[in-house]
Amino acid sequence: MILFATAQFLIFSGYAYYIYKKYGVLQSISTSAYKLPHNKHWKFSVSLFLTGILQLPIVIMGDLSTWLFLPMLGLLYTGFSTRFRKGIQRSIHYGGVVGAIVVQFLVMWLAHGLWVPMIIVPLLVLASWKWIDKNLVWWVELEIMAIVYLTYLYYFIKTI
């Protein structure tokens, strides 16, 4: 299970690093879909699709709650709604992002007693909001992905 969680983290952070090297820090990770040339939008979709789909083995083979398939769906919806600034894709995109984050931490807390991330995430977001002047969402997305990975890592090591 650690392998799948690590792959999720590496794919997401690797994509963020690729975008950072190419365009610098953007407003959000999703904004990269607008920065990439039209024939390269697939990179955004594939990175979120792979990050999301790697949740499936964690749910199926691990002893984690089957409710963790919901964050996977949120990431898939987000990845496939690359033109999220208007229309129905806006609702799908933001619903997928917020849903994936909220459900991820709720399930880890309610099903597995991992409540510390439920405290850390809001505090980290508030601290970031106070101290980061530019591109707040970019940094918060990276922070949340790191917390998800660290939560998985803690859980998997604890259950060995």
3-state secondary structure of 132: coil
Please state, in angstroms and rounded to a whole number, the distance separating the CA atoms of residues 14 and 53.
Answer: 16
3-state secondary structure of 144: helix
Domain that holds residue 44: 2-158
Number of domains comprising the chain = 1
Please state, in angstroms and rounded to a whole number, the distance separating the CA atoms of residues 79 and 116.
Answer: 28
Crossing angle for the helix pair 116-131 and 88-112, nearest 10 degrees? 140
Please state, in angstroms and rounded to a whole number, the distance separating the CA atoms of residues 143 and 34.
Answer: 22
Sign of the CA dihedral with 134 first, then 138, 144, and 146 last: negative
H/E stretch holding 94 reads helix 88-112
H/E stretch holding 1 reads none
Q: In this structure, are residues 113 and 1 in contact, taking their beta carbons and an 8 Å threshold? A: no
Classify residue 64 as exposed, middle or buried by CB count within 10 Å of its CB (0-12, 13-18, 19+): buried
Please state, in angstroms and rounded to a whole number, the distance separating the CA atoms of residues 126 and 140.
Answer: 10
Q: What percent of the chain has pLDDT over 90?
A: 48
Q: What is the pLDDT of residue 36?
A: 92
pLDDT tens digits, 41-57: 899 999 999 998 998 88
pLDDT tens digits, 57-101: 888 886 667 888 888 888 888 888 877 888 888 888 888 888 989
Locate 39 and state its tokens: 């024939």
